[in-house]
Amino acid sequence: MTPNDLPLPAIDAAEQAFAAERWASTRVRLMYTIAAAINAMPQSDAQAQIDALKAERDALRDAVAMQAADDGLWFHAVSAPEAYLQQELRKLHQLIDAAPVQESKP
């Protein structure tokens, strides 16, 4: 659900149109503020942040690969807590493995 999906209080059509216009104007101002902040950021800082995020992503994928190769984590669960842990671990692995790799163009 987005803020646009939320119902407005019971007001007449003119007030509702005014509120919608004001919300649209606020969103535009916010987008310009965010864009200005991004443009003001030194390129080297942005690139350093991107590189740090890529390194973190790679570390997560390496951890998933190591866990996938560990037979001790994938045994046949005997108890409910073990089964639950394995189920959630498999979900986590699927999320990390399925995460798209989007490289930015230089």
∠ CA 61-58-97, nearest 5°, is 30
20 & 55 share domain? no
| Predicted local distance difference test score (pLDDT) of residue 106 | 44
Tens of pLDDT along 36-88? 887 787 777 778 888 888 888 888 888 888 887 877 777 788 888 888 888 88
CB 96 within 8 A of CB 64: yes
| Predicted local distance difference test score (pLDDT) of residue 23 | 75
The residue segments making up the domain with residue 92 are 43-101
Answer whether residue 67 is part of any domain: yes
Answer whether residue 6 is part of any domain: no
Answer whether residue 63 is part of any domain: yes
Tens of pLDDT along 16-29? 677 677 777 787 88
Residue 12, CA distances (Å) to 6, 73, 86 in order:
17, 61, 55
∠ CA 104-33-56, nearest 5°, is 35
Position 92 pLDDT exceeds 70: yes
CB 19 within 8 A of CB 11: yes
Length of the chain in residues, anyone?
A: 106
Residue 1, CA distances (Å) to 8, 9, 19, 61, 65 in order:
14, 17, 19, 31, 35
Answer whether residue 2 is part of any domain: no
Answer whether residue 3 is part of any domain: no
69 & 88 share domain? yes
Answer whether residue 64 is part of any domain: yes
- CB neighbours of residue 25 within 10 Å: 10
15 & 64 share domain? no
